[in-house]
Amino acid sequence: MTREDRDVGVATWALFLRTHAALVARLEHELDEARRLPLPWYDVLLELNAAQGRRLRMQELGNRVVLSRSRVSRIVDEMARAGLARREPDPADGRGSYAVLTDTGRSALHDAAPVYLHGIATYFTGQLSDAELQIMHDALRRVLEYAGSTPAPPKQPSG
């Protein structure tokens, strides 16, 4: 790797950080503006809707939305209070607890999805060619897999 290439690497990393910050702020703003919906709530709705039986264990939900179990626990509480989800104990294992999407939640998702999708289409994919998109997809998959495969900073250790 030449010196220029290394500079491109650091520069790209910096761009990655700034772009992430800008885009997340953007989408959060539009989602809140249009639907009064925090981004993490949207993510939870999305994952629950995609899951078998529209329900997920707390831990699994946390993994998918990239939030700690404790945060998920509180968010599901709030969403339950708002009627978008409800809790259900796991009949097979008394320790486990499910978050289940309600009809209200489902309709909130269908209501919010166009806003979010439009944001992505406008600010992200809209600025990229099909080829770029495909390359980024493959590249990010590789990076993510590597970061996940290696010894990892223990996020919320077992006990």
HEC secondary structure over 92-112: CCCCCEEEEECHHHHHHHHHH
Rg (CA), the chain: 19
Residue 131: Cβ-neighbour burial (10 angstroms; 0-12, 13-18, 19+): exposed
Nearer to a copy of itself, 9 or 83 (CB): 9
Choose the contact partner of 36 out of DNA, a copy of itself, none; CB within 5 to 8 A by kind: none
* 86/124 with CB nearer a copy of itself: 124
- By CB under 7 A, what part of segment 138-157 binds DNA? 155-157
Q: Which residues pair with 57 in a beta bridge?
A: 98
Q: Which of the residues 117 through 146 are near a copy of itself (CB under 8 A)?
A: 117, 120-121, 123-128, 130, 132-144, 146
* Binding partner of 90, given DNA, a copy of itself, none, CB within 5-8 angstroms per partner class: DNA
110 touching a copy of itself, by CB under 8 A = no
Nearer residue to DNA within complex by CB, 20 or 74: 74
Which one of residues 26, 40, 86, 113 is an interface residue with DNA (CB under 7 A)?
Answer: 40
Stretch that binds DNA, among 52-60, 110-118, 129-137, 139-147 (CB under 7 A): 52-60
50 binds a copy of itself (CB under 8 A): no
Closest CA to 115 of 54, 55, 41, 21: 41
Rounded to a whole number of angstroms, the minimum distance from the CB of residue 83 to a copy of itself is 27
